[in-house]
Amino acid sequence: MISYDTGDARFSFRAVAVIIQDHHILIHRAIEDDFWALPGGRVELFETSDYTVERELGEELGIKCSVVRQLWHVENFFQLNVKQYHEIANFYLVSLTEQFDIKPEVDFKGIEETVNLLFRWVPIEKLSHYNLKPEFLITQLGNIPNSIKHIKINDLYE
């Protein structure tokens, strides 16, 4: 994966799936975390980020999908616990190749044995009730852009 540590800092290259079905968005969190995020993962060396999304959803949920198009290119600077992060992430609108049984706001586990992830389908209009990271998603997921948007988030120096 494209991620490395230097001192108390980490750089990572992430690919993210935006999956909207019946006005619900799929979010997930690690069991030990107090925040939610969109599913995805770190890009592997010599792997395209759109392929990363397809691979990660297969690994985490056992589902097949196809990338429709890129929505956002995000440069994100933040702190988590004692580590500072510099994250580059590509967010993709994704369609599932099979219908997924949506039970709104009910947690379900992923299939990946080495990672404890909880997934949840959330009505888009209820995203403001969640600690969703990065925060721009709370407002932007209800207003998907027509073209790729470049987002810069700097929570380290504001």
Rounded to 5°, the CA angle 112-24-16 comes to 50
How many residues are present in the chain? 158
CA distance 100 to 36: 20
- Domain total of the chain: 1
* Host domain of residue 129: 3-154
Contacts 24+ apart (CB under 8 A), 34-37: 34/131, 35/131, 35/132, 35/133, 36/120, 36/130, 36/131, 36/132, 36/133, 37/132, 37/133
CATH number at residue 57: 3.90.79.10
Q: Is 112 exposed, middle or buried (0-12, 13-18, 19+ CB in 10 A)?
A: middle
What is the pTM assigned to this prediction?
0.95
Reading the block at residue 141, the tokens are 């997921």
Per-residue pLDDT of the chain (158 residues; tens, 9 = 90+): 999 999 999 999 999 999 999 999 999 999 999 999 999 999 999 999 999 999 999 999 999 999 999 999 999 999 998 999 999 999 999 999 988 889 999 999 999 888 889 999 999 999 999 999 999 999 999 999 999 999 999 988 76
- What pLDDT does residue 108 have? 96
Q: What values do phi and psi take at 61, rounded to 5?
A: -125, -10
Give residue 158's pLDDT.
Answer: 61
